[in-house]
Structure formats: structure tokens, C-alpha cells
């Protein structure tokens, strides 16, 4: 396979086709993971409105969790939650089992 020349590579930052974000799973480089406290969540859905990656799962007007394969761990959901129902935990500690895996799951 021949390498592409610089003229054949698209300019960075351009969206060449609409809706292509679903093809790119970007959650694996996340440093922090959002977790939801079900007892505090009132389903106001501000997290869903403000999430820049559309990573908040909503079904029947209720927050059901996160699409972690797209969530980058930016923490905007935590910042906009008026009920402090979302906490950000270190991804590495979560994966190692140092964080209660049921905490925050819906």
C-alpha cells in the first residue's frame, strides 16, 4: 500500500461528512468517568442538554446512564447538575475496582 502524499490527506479540523462522530469511539482516552447517584438524580436532564458528546442516555424522559464509548470525561454534566447527582471518578481507579461499580449506575 502506497503512503498518501500531503496533498491527499484532508486538512485537520474539517468535517467531511455529517454525523460521522458515531464512528469514532473516543471514550477510551478518558481520564475521569461520570457516575450518577440515583437517589439524588431528579431527571431534570440538564446533563443531557449540555453534554457536548451526546453521551447521556435518556429513555422515556429519564436519565439512564452514559455512552462511555463516546464520553470524554469532560465533567460538564457534573458542573451543570443542580442536585450534585453526578460525580467524576478517576477512570483508572474505576477500572481497577477501587470505586464501587454499582455506585452511579442506573
Contact between 43 and 62 under an 8 Å Cβ cutoff? The reply is yes
Give the CATH number for residue 70.
3.30.70.20
| Number of domains observed in the structure of the chain | 1
On whether residue 59 sits in a domain, the answer given is: yes
Torsion of CA 18, 44, 67, 20, to 10 degrees: 0
Determine the Cα–Cα distance for residues 82 and 77; give it in Å rounded to an integer.
Answer: 10
Domain with 87, as residue range(s), is 41-100
Determine the Cα–Cα distance for residues 10 and 99; give it in Å rounded to an integer.
Answer: 42
The model's pTM is 0.76
pLDDT tens-digit readout, 84-101: 999 999 999 998 888 875
On whether residue 105 sits in a domain, the answer given is: no
Residues of the chain with confidence (pLDDT) below 70:
13, 101-106
Amino acid at each position: 500500500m502506497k503512503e498518501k502524499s500531503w496533498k491527499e490527506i484532508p486538512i485537520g479540523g474539517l468535517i467531511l461528512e455529517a454525523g460521522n462522530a458515531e464512528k469514532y469511539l473516543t471514550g477510551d482516552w478518558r481520564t475521569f468517568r461520570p457516575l450518577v447517584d440515583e437517589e439524588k438524580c431528579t431527571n431534570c436532564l440538564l446533563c443531557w442538554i449540555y453534554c457536548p458528546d451526546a453521551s447521556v442516555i435518556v429513555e422515556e424522559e429519564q436519565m439512564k446512564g452514559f455512552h462511555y464509548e463516546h464520553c470524554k470525561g469532560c465533567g460538564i454534566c457534573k458542573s451543570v447538575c443542580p442536585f450534585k447527582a453526578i460525580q467524576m471518578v478517576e477512570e483508572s481507579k474505576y477500572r481497577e475496582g477501587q470505586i464501587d461499580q454499582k455506585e452511579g449506575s442506573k
